[in-house]
Chains A and B, each alone.
Chain A
């Protein structure tokens, strides 16, 4: 398992891309992370499909993160 060093600017790049992907769901990036990590988290109706996909992606990531 490797740990990446901080890469300047990448956090902002991820945030910009995430904002585009979440457009129309009503979720912020922080809320999306919370929904993905917690199957019991409340989800607004407009974000129901996004929530399912977020949780599937998070679950698969948890299952195997080793390169």
Chain B
């Protein structure tokens, strides 16, 4: 893969021009309506929290007063709408979770603690509107003329984007820059999942459920599945961006080449690829169009990779399920993985949840599934025999 060299050129360009270079045309986060910028630190004397919100001046408090401060900023599970945590470092969220654990089981502090716990849960979901890591979002959207390690520091971004001020107000100003413009396509589905998760957490709190209790096996399994689904969805959202696709050619996620009609088939094409380092595999669903990765045409084709092969160092990809007429022979095409269907993902999670709820399911009974025997390919048998004999 050659993405490091691609990035190097962009860093050199940024260093020479003294301006950041865009990696995305759109915003990597949805437009947020209730952000709260927070900086939290754990000390021996307790946890110190500094917070600011649009229209609210920056304020600082320590220990249980910090919970009261956050409550005043609307960070409470009983509020009419959820707040978005805007963090500028990796130590704030762990400190907030520690603060939540110090809260009592009832009252206003418990309401705030439950909201902090919800943030900690949703922080695992990329593209979420619950928790925004400013440095991660800036790194998704731009590249600077420094080394990558410097981009983990908030100060680097404040300087390169010439954001005035300091502390939490500066973080809010940086957030405005990060979320300017149109959000990436598909992020609205992640925002819907945030809303559903918020509603679930509220209902649980109202019903007396303690967020400190560990998840059941079923909850843990569906939670893991939801995180995987969101990661897939966010990866697909990035691929909807033309600037991101130009770089993705160098990671093998986007493939360019010349299309030709497959012999004897009206529903298949063969793409002779420009590069051999594609990540497409047989069975992958794809979407494609006539043109370059930076193009965003409405007219696209869909299909499935039937086979891949290398001939004289050139990669060919056979795609079925698409009408060959949409890509006449000799057409230059761009292909990338098809985005997952959020509705299908949701259905899969619902089925998994039901499987865990069903008492007779092999998952809930703990009984191993019945053994199914089948023929094993000879080369696997030979390899296993070799491994068993120490050869």
A residues whose Cβ falls under 8 Å from a Cβ of B: 1-5, 7, 10-11, 13-14, 16-18, 21-22, 29, 32-33, 36, 49-50, 52-58, 60-67
Contacts and interface: CB of A to CB of B under 8 A. Distances in A.
Does more than half of chain A's interface fall in helix, strand or loop, or is it mixed?
A: helix
30 contacts: A3-B19, A4-B20, A4-B161, A7-B156, A7-B159, A11-B146, A13-B150, A14-B15, A14-B145, A17-B148, A17-B149, A21-B7, A22-B8, A29-B12, A36-B9, A50-B2, A53-B5, A56-B249, A57-B247, A58-B10, A58-B12, A60-B10, A60-B247, A60-B294, A61-B10, A62-B13, A65-B17, A65-B20, A66-B19, A67-B177
Contact of A53 (B9, B18, B146): B9
B162 interface: yes
A60 B147 contact: no
Does more than half of chain B's interface fall in helix, strand or loop, or is it mixed?
A: helix
Contact of B13 (A10, A17, A65): A65
Given A11-B15, A13-B150, A58-B10, A52 B162 contact: no
Interface residues of B, number: 43
A55 B250 CA distance: 12
A57 B5 contact: yes
Interface string B72-98: 000000000000000000000000000
B5 A50 contact: yes
Interface of B: 2-22, 25, 141-142, 144-150, 156, 159-162, 177, 243, 246-247, 249-250, 294
A3 B141 CA distance: 17
Given A11-B15, A13-B147, A65-B19, 9 more contacts: A7-B156, A13-B150, A18-B8, A18-B11, A29-B12, A33-B9, A53-B9, A66-B22, A67-B19
